[in-house]
Structure 1
Amino acid sequence: MHPAAPSLYPELDATALTAFATALESGESTGLPPARAAEVQAVRAAVVFSRGKVTGADGDLLEAALWRHTGAGPRPAVVMPAPWTDLGWLAYAVQASRFAVRGYDVLAYSPRGFAASEGHADFAGPLDVTDGRHALDHLLERAAGPVTRIGFLGVSYGAGIAQLVAAHDARVDAVAALSGWGDLGEVLRENSTRRTAAVHTLLTAAPRARLGRPAQRALENLLADRDVHESLAWAEQRSPFTHLKELGRRQVAVFYAHAWHETLFPAGQLLRTFQELTGPKRVDLSIGDHGGPEAAGLPGLPNRIWADAQRWFDHHLAGAGNGIDGEGEVLSEVMWSRALEPSPTWPLPTRHIRRLHLTGTGELADRPDPGWAAGVLCGVETPVAVADAVARSGYAELEGRPRLYPDAAAMDRTATAVWTAAPAPDTTRLRGTPRLRVTYRAANSGSTFVAYLLDLAPDGSARLITHAPFSDLDAPPDSLINADIDLQPTAYDLPPGHRPMLALTPRDPLYSDANLPRATLSFTSPEPTPSYVELPLG
């Protein structure tokens, strides 16, 4: 049983945001902090702010706010569907105001089923796409002058909607999608492993949201392990990855921002979508978890992600020559130096791939070592896990406190198979997607394991670099299973003297578990198909 999920946006103060929006309407800023009061006056000097309703699909009314310039000159526009929160459009009150002061007409709205909007949440389905197009109509009908170019911007749920509206509406020229998804099917089920903690979080993180029956059924079926393929078909329609041709045909300019240790919408599926985009594109990758890198910007604090989203729109919508198009397609924040590394494209350039073989002595070695076996017991507590809760560990990472496994060198081998490499004399720069090939024998039909790549320090403690789950649901009992999996991508510096550590466990709280309790998984390395991990070195 999962505990109830907290808000995905704990940094948002509903009272403060409401006071800010009220002051935008009335002009009375008494009681606001001086910086916020000054911002209110700057917004009111530039635009007329008003709240209203957008008529969406099926006549459902969606609550919205409009920042409208009164001059008759041409200008760009931005539409902002809100994230997965009971606050609705109010989450964007500060950032929408800043776009308005920069010269944009802006409309922010609460998607159907959230906050005071009518209807039931369609989870970025056809109704949400229609709503987004109607929201754009609403803005264009009220613009005082010609609208030149149009962008959609969203965080999390709003990021998914923004991409899908852009794929279906030829009027949209650019997108900024922060902490969103590319392939919703992989969000729900990665390497045949149901991502149950993420699904539970989506069902509970906005407790007053009203999910439509198809969305409710798809998510509940994933949790209950029934009609999974029906749920994946439901997710495919809601995946920007499915609609890449439409985005590419019109060369829509797409900006992504994402976290390396994202536990709600893992980075791998987003980066595969990014790789297939053919128009102008950029991705900012940061330390943290879902929503964390851009979180401080929502209430108005200085924030690199929001600054880059503004620069992206300034260039692609307002024609500003700000140089963002010449900075490379990828900007990576490296763990744990926090250095920012630009790259011309994804995948990140690698100097070479280092292949380390799993051996019978527990070493990661340069040569294969066939014939050994390392067994682990299923259904017992394991000493390593990806995160304490979805999205929460990332906030500690942002504060410089990555999760520490203090006794990693002495992990219980009953439930964990472990291999370590020799310490490196120099910094090891991991850049890209580590890959694992491992063979194992499962006593029963249906099996799961989770692979963790760790940074083992000289004192025996470790930190997580990356991970991935794997399940086999079809192999007959007592058969050898070959697992070839990509771990989640990373940009990580192992300091001198530290060692890469690979740990394989039968379960993790983030994922479903297809193993039978007290069953055994036996990892091995047959001579024809040796087991190894590949490290991309930058």
Structure 2
Amino acid sequence: MTSKETRPNAVVSLYPELDEGVLAQVVQALRTGDTSALAPARAAEVDAAREAATFRDGVRVPVGEGVELDAALWLHNGEGPHPLIVMPSPWAKQGWTVYAVQAMRFARRGYHVLAYTARGFGESGGEVEVAGEADIADGIKALDHLVSEAGGPGAIGRVGFLGDSYGSGISQLVAAEDPRVHAVVALSTWGDLGEAFYENNTRHVAAVRTLLGAAATARLSARTQKAFDDVLANENVEETLRWAASRSPYHRAEKLNDRQVPVLFAQAWHETLFPGNQTLKMFNALSGPKRLLWSIGDHSGPEMTGILGLPNRIWQDAHRWFDRHLLEVGGGENGDEAAAAAFDEESGAEDQVVSEVMWGRALESRPTWHAATGTPERFYLTGPADGARDGGLLDKPADGLHTTFTTGTDTPATVADQILVTGYAELAGLPKAYRTGKIDRSAAGVWTSAPLPSRHQLRGVPRLRVTVAADTADALFVAYLFDVNALGIARIITHAPYTLLGAADTPTAVDLALQVTGYDVKAGHRLMLVLDSVDPFYGGPADETPGTITVTSPDEDPSYLEIPLS
């Protein structure tokens, strides 16, 4: 597969509901002082920001070898020293302008801010390296530039890096390498990029195609294009994983731990670009101050209203995080104890984990991830009861499980209708409805529990232990966990893919971690586990000749679904 074949014909936005016109109006008003095109409240905010800070866009940050980054600068006018915030851009053609409203708000609060467009995007020079060493060096140079503009090292306070999406990974990596960075905010982020490309031997082809589409107007380096090509072509897997490892904050976590750098993470439960488990792995690897916000939705959706300047709990937490770890410690004209006191008075402000539970939208706050995780309960996979077409999920093993389904045929069991967009529908209270009766049982294995006698609160990482055998050399299966009502209409709780490699006709015991979840199943509803072999989000094996997959439950190693119940 050539690079030309994998470059998209049209730009795909990672921010499908972003109103670029709103951001453009804010930037123009900041530049000129003319707020006539803005709503009254936004106009007042821009006026206040212009009074508090000096704004400059069109800033060029030299980063070496003739490359300059396009940036914008907010310098607080009050007597300092002031803490600093650097904001690397998302993976988007809009570049730094995505941060215009929030950067303005940080500046009003007492920070000097520099937001920049990552190399290879927009008006910045260079080529896209996907958070490679050049991007880390760029972040350091951007900080150097801000320090210089703010009056030099003796005139500044503490330093924070904040990024959404692409900028979040760069922010973590810069913080690991530059001891001047005191705190990080990482929104819709990744910890292990390898797992975002390959999960359980399975290629995330929809995610890679989406990233390519979002970078259709960017300038990708040859090495970056090769990495994406290789994922789509199912080639050079180990080489790509090595390439991804150097771009993964997880592999530099010890450097953050050495300095106890505080990191705030925000992630969506149904994240389709950077699945939650790899971010959770990064979170659990950190020993310093940390906080993890879980939300309904998909990539960057939960923080979107804040990008547009509307009330948003994630951005509110980001401001509190920096106030606590930068502003209050670093001093400045606003460096009193008021913000820290307000932070402490917020419910759960001291807790490490705050979860927006599906689907009641209640917020749960827990002191640690361990405290947020439920107690494992097992549901054993069994064969169909008399007169039933589906297998069961029971509280103890039973004899006779032998379920075979054909591969190569998709079923209505899918991750989502459309990457990113389905998550925005979830945010609007419209999760995808699955008609479980339409799942072809010849192309899928299905196991269903009895109606649950009480509400089941799933908190953590569900796990599947299952013995499978395929009659082809390699075989993909995707496990979906559904919440099914009395009418057979389901909502997806979580899922995970798995590819058996080189196991033709050999029963193999598979331990599969489904993606982390925070979900309440109502009393009277059923749990349904579905295994099928095709999903548009994932790439199948090189040889996609149809075959069969057989699921069994040996007496000595029974198959079961384990869910963490709180």
Question: 1:74/1:431 Cα in 2 relative to 1: closer, same or farther (>3 Å)?
Answer: same
Q: SS of the residue aligned with 1:293?
A: coil
The residue that corresponds to 2:13 in the other structure is 7
* Alpha-carbon offset, residue 161 of structure 1: 0.5
Q: How many Å apart are 1:467 and its aligned residue?
A: 0.3
Contact 1:57 / 1:127 at 8 angstroms: preserved in 2? no
Pairing of 1:319-334 with structure 2 (within 5 A): 319=328, 320-321=339-340, 322-323=343-344, 326-334=349-357
Matched position secondary structure for 2:98:
helix
CA contact 2:16–2:421 (8 Å) conserved in 1 = no
Aligned amino acid, residue 381 of structure 2 = L
**What SS does structure 1 have at the residue aligned with 2:218?**
coil
Say whether 1:43 aligns with 2:49.
yes
Cα distance in 1 for residues equivalent to 2:89 and 2:461: 31
Aligned length: 536
Partners of 1:503 and 1:381 lie apart in 2 by 12
Partner of 1:416: 444
Aligned 1:335-354 pairs, distance under 5 A: 335-350=358-373, 352-354=375-377
- Alpha-carbon spacing, 1:5–1:186, altered in 2? closer, same or farther (3 Å): farther
Q: Which residue of 1 aligns with 2:398?
A: 369
2:63 equivalent to 1:56: yes
Partner of 1:506: 533
Q: Aligned AA for 2:213?
A: T
**Aligned residue runs from structure 1 range 26-425, under 5 A:** 26-51=32-57, 52-144=59-151, 146-319=155-328, 320-321=339-340, 322-323=343-344, 326-350=349-373, 352-361=375-384, 362-406=391-435, 408-409=436-437, 411-425=439-453
Aligned counterpart, 1:484 = 511
> CA 1:11–1:215 in 2, change beyond 3 Å: closer, same or farther?
same
Partner of 1:497: 524
| Structure 2 equivalent of residue 23 of structure 1 | 29
Cα 1:271/1:436, change in 2 over 3 Å: same
Tell me by how many angstroms 1:72 deviates. Answer: 4.0
> Deviation at 1:134?
0.4
Q: Displacement, 1:348?
A: 4.5
Q: In the alignment, which residue of structure 2 is the partner of 1:516?
A: 544
Q: For 1:185-210, what per-residue CA distance to the aligned partner results, in whole angstroms no more than 9, with x for missing partners?
A: 00000011011110111111132111
**SS of 2:65 mapped into structure 1:** helix
Q: CA deviation at 1:351?
A: 5.2
Task: Give 1:460's aligned amino acid.
Answer: G
Shift of 1:344: 1.1
Higher mean C-alpha displacement, 323-332 vs 62-71: 323-332
* More displaced 10-residue stretch of structure 1: 505-514 or 102-111: 505-514
Distance 2:117 2:561 in 1: 45
Which residue does 2:387 correspond to in 1?
none
Tell me the alpha carbon deviations over residues 447-476 of structure 1, each in whole angstroms, 9 at most, x when there is no partner.
11000010010111111000000012232x
SS in 1 for 2:253: helix
Residue 281 of structure 1 and its aligned partner are, at CA, apart by 0.1
1:152: how far off? 0.2
- Name whichever of 376-385 and 464-473 sits farther off: 376-385
Give the % identical residues.
Answer: 52
Using the TM superposition, give the Cα deviation of residue 148 of structure 1 relative to its aligned residue in structure 2, in angstroms.
Answer: 1.2
Amino acid at match of 2:403: A
Compare 75-84 and 9-18 and name the one that shifted more.
9-18
| C-alpha distance in structure 2 between counterparts of 1:516 and 1:203, whole Å | 24
Q: Any idea what the Cα deviations from partners look like across 1:269-292, whole Å, max 9, x if unmatched? A: 000110110100001000000011
- Which stretch has the larger CA shift, 46-55 or 64-73? 64-73
2:507 is matched by which residue type in structure 1? L
**What's the offset of the Cα at 1:235?**
0.3
- On the 8 A contact 2:404/2:550 being kept in 1, the answer is yes
Taking the aligned partners of 1:409 and 1:457, their CA distance within structure 2 comes to 12
1:409 Cα shift? Answer: 4.2
* Aligned residue identity for 2:478: V
Task: Report the Cα distance in structure 1 between the residues aligned to 2:462 and 2:32, rounded to whole angstroms.
Answer: 55
Task: Name the aligned partner's letter for residue 518 of structure 1.
Answer: P
Distance 1:56 1:530 in 2: 58
SS in 2 for 1:394: helix
Distance 2:475 2:374 in 1: 35
Between the aligned partners of 2:22 and 2:305, the Cα distance in structure 1 is: 14
- 1-side partners of 2:373 and 2:118: how far apart? 41
C-alpha contact 1:446 1:473 (8 A) present in aligned 2:
yes
Question: How far has the Cα of 1:126 moved from its partner?
Answer: 0.3
Aligned to 2:388: none
Q: With the length of structure 1 as denominator, give the TM-score of the two structures.
A: 0.97
CA distance in 2, matches of 1:336, 1:3: 37
Residues 443, 520 of structure 1: 8 Å contact kept: yes
- Stretches of structure 1 that go unaligned for 5 or more consecutive residues are none
After superposition, give the CA deviation of every residue in 1:255-312 in whole Å (9 maximum; x if it has no partner): 0000000011000100011011010000100000001100111111111100000000
Q: Is the 8 A contact 2:293 2:314 kept in 1?
A: yes
> Hey, what's the Cα distance between the residues in 1 that align with 2:189 and 2:163?
8
Is the 2:374–2:458 contact (alpha carbons within 8 Å) kept by the matching residues of 1? no
d(CA) in 1 for partners of 2:129 and 2:404? 45
Contact 2:412–2:438 under 8 Å retained in 1: no
Shift of 1:71: 3.6
Deviation at 1:22, TM superposition (A): 1.8
Deviation larger for 380-389 or 4-13: 4-13
Q: Once the two structures are superposed, what CA deviation does each residue of 1:409-462 show, in whole Å capped at 9, x if it has no partner?
A: 453201111001111121111111100011111101111100001001011111
Query: Normalization by structure 2: what TM-score?
Result: 0.92
Equivalent position amino acid for 1:204 in 2: G
